[in-house]
Amino acid sequence: MVCLSTSQLLALAIFALAIAGFVWDRVRYDLVAVAALLACVLTGLIEPDKAFLGFGNVAVVTVAAVLVLSHALARSGVVALAGQWMGRLVSTPTQQLLVLCGLGAALSAFMNNVGALAIMMPIALAGARRFGFAPSLVLMPLSFATMLGGMCTLIGTPPNLLAAGFRARYAEEPFDFFDFTPMGVALTLLGIALMALLAPRVLPSDRKGEAAAIERFDVGHYVTEVAVPERSSLAGRTVREAEEEAGERLAVIAMRRQGIRLRGRFRSTRLEPGDHLVVQADAELLQELVRGGALELVAAHTTTGAKAAPAEPGSLETAEVVVPPNAWLQGATARSLRLRARFGVNLLAISRQGRPVTRRVRDTPLSAGDVLLLEGDIDGLPDAVRDMGCLPLADRRIALEPFRIYAPVAVFAASIALVVADLAPASIAFALGVLAILALRIIPLRELYTAIDWPVVVLLGAMIPVGGVLESTGLAAMVADKIAAAGAFLPERGMLALVLVVTLVITPMLNNAATVIVMAPIAVGIAQQLGVAPDAFLMAVAIAASCDFLTPFGHQNNTLILAPGGYRFADYWRLGLPLDLLLLATCVLLLPLVFPLR
């Protein structure tokens, strides 16, 4: 029987509650991390004057700086040039998938995974339209490829930076910038090859509609609010008759007449001019009804008082955007955001794949993965989308000025060169890069802090000291002893496989950075119990923590593609499980060769 000290019991309880909070996912993970940190301080596990040292950790500083540099690259238009080049180069869907995944992985090696995916998605969607196949066939491989590419360098993903920091605790120095490259490149190439082979066979190919002006790609059925105008062909018909005529392409969710919501069996009610309907309809049918004068789109006007003056003909444009993970507007509604007053845009429709929307569009809380159809001034719409923290899913018209393209690339390359040449640590080199970006006015000063994913920064800063409690109380060594004892019959490579599997199982439940903080001290303890060098075990944790291919919620990239790809939960398993098995076998084979155990 294991006897735990009081400090170990407290640490175990706090850690268990923190993990439960991460898994529950009802409270944002950065708040859970801060609560765990303060609990450790109040119970005496962490000294008050050391509580916030994690925010000064080099990994946290480096992540923040890389996010800013990634934002500068995304705004530069360099990826738009790459998309044009790719359009001239490829001629088949398979070639497009290979080139897209290769380019996405290469970008992700030097910038934030989510940023790499966000700037590649419009190119992927344009290619899907060009070749006439479903976006679902390419978006998931692209998402996985950006996660794989992030494993190739020190700055590619937070788990690598954290693993490097843990190595500095038992070795003279952390991992170098390109220490991750041999394994990362091998896994990325094998993963892309496997996805090119399996994706057309295991991913859904029938979740797409015909391209239309109102719908640049298939996002499922929009939920929007429409009005019955004068002389509408639907006036005088019952709701049921209108639905039956449209087949399964139209469903009336709610109905209002003179501002009063009709309840009960309103489907037998005859439509009258002025009626407002909340409908779920595919984009092509919606466009037909609006163009034919049968219905009118009702914008989610959010001005207080008088309505905004009508725009000049031709000055309005629509844009499809996706709400990314951790967007600040999550949980808010068009009404509470006052979209028209603050950003000059109207919310026309919402597409929420697989989840019902029953409220009026203006009163529907927004969630990560929602695809929004926005209407706004043709000149101000791109800025409004950026200020709202959303990501555009249609092609972006960017004025490609040579300085604007090459300057951020040059700054990023110079920062990497400083690290590679061992002239400055990563945190200093990339902080200098941020200063250069601002000095050259590549991004406005007001975008400096909005470019940083603050929940991730807070998570890292809070959980690093909490993770240290595992070591200081001896819990990490105790868990390592138990795992080593349970796997005593296994060879060294078998124990390496066990660490990989345990990390892969934990990763979908936690943020990938939190997974490293939990597993790294345990993995190092297991290696020390076996009497082998810890590098391969620590690298296994970093790799497995970066490879959540099984769920739509374990990694932000998987959430981002959920609605645009029309995916369901089981779709991730079909491609993700074979990919995980390939990575597991490859790591067990290659890790001891790249990082010798003895």
pLDDT, residue 207, reads 53
Which amino acid type is present at position 436?
Answer: A
Q: How far is CA 80 from CA 63, 75, 105, 397, 532, in A?
A: 25, 10, 16, 9, 47
pLDDT above 90 covers what percent of the chain? 15
Sign of CA dihedral 553, 369, 139, 159: negative
Question: Tens of pLDDT along 294-338?
Answer: 888 776 544 443 344 444 434 557 777 888 876 788 888 888 888
**What pLDDT is recorded for position 395?**
46
Residues 6+ apart with CB under 8 A from 304: 338, 341
Q: Which residue has the higher pLDDT, 303 or 49?
A: 49
CB–CB of 442/411 below 8 Å? yes
Could you report the per-residue pLDDT of 209-256, keeping only the tens digit for each? 323 323 333 334 567 788 899 888 888 888 888 888 877 677 787 888
Q: What is the pLDDT of residue 203?
A: 86
Residue 2 dihedral angles phi and psi, to the nearest 5°: -90, 130
What is the residue-averaged pLDDT of the chain? Answer: 79
pLDDT for the residue numbered 208: 45
276-282/371-377 β-pairing: unpaired
Comparison of pLDDT for 259 and 76, the residue scoring more: 259
524-547 per-position pLDDT tens digit: 888 888 888 899 999 999 999 988
pLDDT digits (tens, 9 = 90+) for 130-157: 677 788 888 899 999 999 999 999 888 8
pLDDT at residue number 537: 93
Instruction: Name the more confident of 403 and 181.
Output: 181
Q: What is the pLDDT of residue 84?
A: 62
DSSP letters of 265-285?
SGGGSBP-TT-EEEEEEEHHH
* Statement: residue 39 has pLDDT above 80: yes
Q: What pLDDT does 554 receive?
A: 62
178, pLDDT greater than 60: yes
Mean pLDDT for the stretch of residues 381-386: 80
Helix 29-42 / helix 454-472 crossing angle, nearest 10 deg? 40
Shortest CA distance to 76 belongs to which of 408, 320, 544, 540?
408
- At 218 the pLDDT is 35
CATH number of 221-392: 3.30.70.1450
pLDDT interval class at 342 (50, 70, 90): confident
Render pLDDT for 498-524 as a digit per residue (tens, 0 to 9): 999 888 887 876 668 878 888 888 888
What's the pLDDT at 592? 93
- The Cβ-side half-sphere exposure at 224, using a 13 Å CA radius, reads 29
Where helices occur in 203-276 by DSSP H, the ranges are 239-246
Query: Quick one: pLDDT at residue 580?
Result: 93
pLDDT tens readout for residues 412-449 = 889 888 877 878 887 898 899 999 988 888 877 777 88
Of the CA atoms within 13 Å of residue 164, those in its CB half-sphere come to 27
